[in-house]
A and B are shown apart, each in its own frame.
Chain A
Amino acid sequence: MSTNQSRRDFFKTSATAAGGLVLGFGWFSSEAFEPGVLTKAAADTIDFNAYLAIAPSGIITIYSPNPEIGQGIKTAFPIIVAEELDADWSKVKVEQSPLDTKKFERQLTGGSGAIRHSWERLRKAGATARAMLMEAAAKKWSVPVSECSTSKGFVVHSSGKKLSYGELATDAAQITPPTTVKLKDKSNFTLIGTSVKGVDSKAILTGKNLFGIDYKREGMLNAMIQRPPAFGLKLKSFDATEAKKMPGITDVVSFGNKVAIVGKTTWEVMQARKAVKIEWEKEKDLESSADHDRIFKEMLNSTTATVHRKDGDVEAAFKNAYKVIEAEYQCPFLPHSPMEPMNFFAHFKGDSIEMAGPSQTPQNAQNQIAKMFNMAPEKVSIELTRMGGGFGRRLNTDYAVEAAELSSIIKAPVKVTWSREDDTKGGIYRPAVRYRFKASIDKAGNITGYMLHGAGMNAGNATRPDNFPVGAIENTLIQSNDHKSPITTGPWRAPITNFLAYAEQAFLDEVAMAGGKDPIQLRMELLEKAQKSPIGKLTYEPERFREVIKLAAEKAGWGKKKKGVYQGFSVYFSHASYVAQIAEMANVKGKPVLKKVYAAVDCGIVINESSAQNQVYGAIVDGLGHAMYGNLTFKDGAPQQDNFNKYRLIRYNEVPDIEVHFVKNGIDPTGLGEPALPPTGGAIANAIFKTTGKRLYNQPFAEQGATLG
């Protein structure tokens, strides 16, 4: 989805339903701006562009296109617009836009890419409206625009007189929007970089119906769906005679290997579900965790790996090595476990369909549903609800498509809700992966050769072939194998790197030890090399890498003896951001106990300090919790954990102190929803090694004796 630059600055004009003038940016497509789509705005509100409208009362409405999942985007986007507009934040109200592929591009949440992608255009949206307001004021006062400036929602003349944005809105909307506009000097930001509370906070804290699972419509039915209980099974037959007689039940239907139980209320549906008798039959292999162990071995010993990157001659390096270090690291399948289970509302109306629910990729859902019904995508409307977490799960659209299909079968508006058990057993997991590493060092402890072989279960390419330390070593080989398993997988917060980072960073520690180097020293030397004489393509900036390492080391007092404190280090580059972490542990009666995690983060300019801190804390807690406990195992294709009694999530009493520092470098913002997660596992594993002398090669750690808090 690239944006055509010439279109991006192209403006369009059309009349509003309310009679005023609407100026729509045609930045995101050549289509005309459609007035009236954002019907929730006050009738007298005057739209300036796809992102903002100003009412004569002075209230500024900023439309936030991207789905909010807890990453703070619904607050961050408007902050950027308001900054360039020079708005008074207390007069800003934020509205979630529905899916609108004509007006917005990349209306999705994933890959920590929203801010990175929209930074420029959001700034322009604010700055253009500001320029129009200034011009309107200058006209009114008959003064040159150059004598005008803005401050907190007012245009101010050098003489001291001023007019509010609300007073100017109607006139300003008549002005031809400038084709080029000057953006603020970053040093003059007054809102960006401060702490702004989440715009939905009040609604969240008073229990308003914000989430998909809360969605309700007149005449709406509730449904639950029984999907195959094991991967590899398919529906043979079902008997719903009893279930259909139960109170509140309106329908039991099957489609696509599933049986849907439909009724008036969730609880009634849950009860009737137990009464449906279903027979399943084997369709594919029913894999158990023990099978996976064998399959991993076969893949790592195979000679048919796909090579992703090759620099120099790694075999020669190994042959001539002073020492060769080898290790294997493994992680299990993981469900995403968002607190709000999957759900979606659908109302099929024959030639169109209305959808509402939590989706990270509403446009994908729209396209798939349109395709299923042979409709034009415009016929599929999607209202975006707030999401109770997602962690990648809601990038898959299965649960929306399924709701659409069910509505079309029962010809009624229906909300499908997944139970926690459905959610945990429903697939699209973080793939299980095993890595084999091999490195050679010379007498001085310098790495001369480096090989990474990834073996994944439906992981695609389980490696990230250009990631550090690649680029700093003459001889490298990065390759992978993949096993096509019936167990479904998908992106999980920081896909692949959520585990690969741990494996790489732990292995680098092993190499540092073998070569008698301090772990940070080894990385700094490699980065210096990558900077001075990079080998092949370099996708990271060594200098920014080194800055976060230095900052973390300084804050944590790396290498300065602290009594009874054992430190582990890790650093990672992902989603265009750099994060270094140092974990501190104590040895309590032979057990490693985590006390503190320091994080140094370079994500460029921080938009919202409070939200950014929250994200980094959360990512560390997430990385820690899953490294410690996360484990989904299989027997004959069936997941063995289905709810929080068997699948353990990290709790209140288990989080260590966390200290977060951001690098202040004024660089345009990069990703933040994910990048702080990957380094955590490595920092902890390396600290565990320092504490106990034991290297942990597999996750979860808790099953190997590590404890928290």
Chain B
Amino acid sequence: MALFNLKINGKTYKADVDANTPLLWVLRDHLDLVGTKYGCGMAMCGACTVHVNGEATRSCVVPVSNVSNATITTVEGLSETGTHPVQEAWDEVDVPQCGYCQAGQMMTASALLAKNANPSDKEIEEAMVGNICRCGTYHRIHDAVKLAAAKMKK
């Protein structure tokens, strides 16, 4: 066990956990940030995506000791009330079906848009291909990424 001070969503959280514990389970079990989801535990589905220093990162395979000094953003930190352009776009396009994958989808999309305000379809595809949506909302995810990009330009 070791004590970690984690910078998440602009706050500092303390977690006394084994250094190998994946960030995903620290968020979910210790810090009550359950918006980040478990889907596969092996970086294959994207449900657990968070930002680590602005990079879309699969938190299920990142030991907490690797991110002890990093700036971490989870879906709860995009905005608490849903006012981030990506959240707004996801709402307007009415993307979710079951909704389970969508936090991860939005985290991947928001990391992309933060770096590339005007991504091509190919660039969107390259970013989003790592996120599975079992309900098949891919068309709407595409539309929502486009809409979010447009919103961010304003």
Bound CA span A610–B75, Å: 24
Q: Closest approach, in angstroms, between the C-beta of A384 and any C-beta of chain B? A: 14
Bound CA span A247–B39, Å: 24
Other than the given A619-B136, A652-B142, 11 more pairs (CB < 8 A) read A206-B82, A207-B36, A210-B99, A267-B25, A338-B134, A339-B132, A389-B134, A389-B135, A417-B38, A614-B97, A617-B139
* B152 in contact (CB, < 8 A): no
Q: Mark B75-102, 1 if CB is under 8 A from A, else 0.
A: 1101111100001001100101111111
Scan residues 361-405 of chain A and give those whose CB is less than 8 A from a CB of chain B: 386-391
A197, A204, A620, A644: the one within 8 Å of B102 (CB):
A204
Q: Closest approach, in angstroms, between the C-beta of B150 and any C-beta of chain A? A: 18
Q: Is the CB of B132 within 8 A of A645?
A: no
Q: Is the CB of A614 within 8 A of B40?
A: no
| Segment with Cβ contacts to B, from A9-17, A65-73, A576-584 | A65-73
Q: Mark B20-55, 1 if CB is under 8 A from A, else 0.
A: 011001001110111111111110110100000000
Contacts of A200 in B (CB 8 A): 96, 99
* A121 in contact (CB, < 8 A): no
Bound CA span A434–B30, Å: 49
Scan residues 115-140 of chain A and give those whose CB is less than 8 A from a CB of chain B: none
Q: Is the CB of B138 within 8 A of A209?
A: no
* A649 in contact (CB, < 8 A): yes
Contacts of A390 in B (CB 8 A): 98
| Segment with Cβ contacts to B, from A211-219, A235-243, A275-283 | A211-219
Q: Given the known A-B contacts A201-B96, A621-B138, A655-B139, are A645 and B44 also in contact in the complex, defined by CB atoms under 8 Å? A: yes
* A113 in contact (CB, < 8 A): no
* A643 in contact (CB, < 8 A): yes
Bound CA span A69–B75, Å: 21
Q: Is the CB of B33 within 8 A of A652?
A: no
Q: Is the CB of B32 within 8 A of A216?
A: yes
Bound CA span A420–B125, Å: 25
* A195 in contact (CB, < 8 A): yes
Q: Is the CB of B30 within 8 A of A419?
A: no
Q: Is the interface of A mostly helix, strand, loop or mixed?
A: loop
Q: Is the CB of A651 within 8 A of B132?
A: yes
Q: Is the CB of A652 within 8 A of B91?
A: no
- Residue of A whose beta carbon sits closest to that of B81: A206
Contacts of A70 in B (CB 8 A): 96-99, 135
Q: Mark B41-77, 1 if CB is under 8 A from A, else 0.
A: 1101101000000000000000000000000001110
Q: Given the known A-B contacts A70-B96, A213-B37, are A205 and B25 also in contact in the complex, defined by CB atoms under 8 Å? A: no
Bound CA span A419–B25, Å: 13
Contacts of B17 in A (CB 8 A): 265, 267
Contacts of A222 in B (CB 8 A): 29
Q: Is the CB of A207 within 8 A of B137?
A: no
- Residue of A whose beta carbon sits closest to that of B140: A614
Q: Is the CB of A206 within 8 A of B94?
A: no
* A442 in contact (CB, < 8 A): no
Q: Mark B116-143, 1 if CB is under 8 A from A, else 0.
A: 0000000001001101111111111110
* A340 in contact (CB, < 8 A): yes
B29, B45, B80, B129: the one within 8 Å of A206 (CB):
B80
Contacts of A510 in B (CB 8 A): none
Q: Is the CB of B97 within 8 A of A420?
A: no
Contacts of A6 in B (CB 8 A): none
Contacts of A386 in B (CB 8 A): 98-99
Bound CA span A677–B40, Å: 25
Q: Is the CB of B136 within 8 A of A617?
A: yes
* A560 in contact (CB, < 8 A): no
Q: Closest approach, in angstroms, between the C-beta of A157 and any C-beta of chain B? A: 37
* A618 in contact (CB, < 8 A): yes
